[in-house]
Amino acid sequence: MTQSALGFGLFAPAGFVIDPAVVDRAQQRLRALGHRVVIDPTCTTRWQRFAADDGERLAAVMRMATDATIDVAVAMRGGYGWSRLLEHLDFRSIAAARKRWMGHSDFTAFQLAALAHGGMITYAGPMGAYDFGAMQPSPFTLDHCMQMLEHGRDTVECALDGPDFAGEGTLWGGNLAMVAHLVGSPHLPQTRGGILFLEDIGEQPYRIERMLHQLHFAGLLARQRAVLLGTFDGYEPGANNNGYDLETVIRFARAHFGVPIFTGLPFGHCPDKLTLPVGGHCTLAVRGGAGRLELSVPAR
């Protein structure tokens, strides 16, 4: 696939980069794909559990927004940190810069706030450390990412477990803990008739169910056309679970939350992930376990 050269900005708006080698690998890999790369200073600094103090991480966001050589701002990693920044960000100015922003995990907080305050469409997708900087990155992840960045649309076939379904709406969501975290705040979009996607890592099944209950109690789930679940792994079964596992949670959610729920979305803290336009459009069709997603971003 022929691709236009893009300017990628790598920055660390949350946790610090644990292994400095991933910064070099990410830079080399993007350059090998024909793109330009800007490395923000936050990629190589540390302060407490963060890449830098709040003021410097805020400055990094604005450097991404104002640097004319950057087309796509990519978070190096998640962790924790965006919650400290949201109330200090000028989302109108960030939206006016017309950059593309990409990441996942803690990055979900920025994405949902950007949609709520600035009507911004961002990308839930690969990050600098885990994906572009991996020793052996996923060709699936890189190919789909570049397809979405280049063309702003794609059709994906994947196995989705759930009822037969056909519908469309605004695609939104991300990390379940971050979506639940923003409930009741001004930073959560009031999306109705949407396609909500969720993933998480390191959360016990009961905690996943509890967060889904929070979305249910807030009326959020009932306002959606469908819910797509990505990967939920990275936890050890607890001694008190007594057979209560993620499959049990999903059966309960399907029976009680009044919205079609599908599993199998290739997205989350996993090597093979889609790049999903948060705030973009999704047409979803599922029949007999075969899923088809048509993803698109309105013309800029």
Active site positions, annotated? 105, 199, 269
Asked whether 159 and 280 are in contact (CB, 8 A), the reply is: no
Q: Is 271 helix (H, G, I), strand (E, B) or coil?
A: coil
The region that residue 268 occupies, defined by phi over 0 for left and psi between -120 and 50 for alpha, beta otherwise, is left
- If one counts every other C-beta atom within 10 angstroms of the C-beta of residue 68, the result is 7
- What is the Cα–Cα distance from 231 to 140, expressed in whole angstroms? 16
Q: Which residues of 107-121 are buried (b: 16+ CB within 10 A; e: fewer)?
A: bbbbbbbbbbbbebb
Contact 100, 110 (CB under 8 A): no
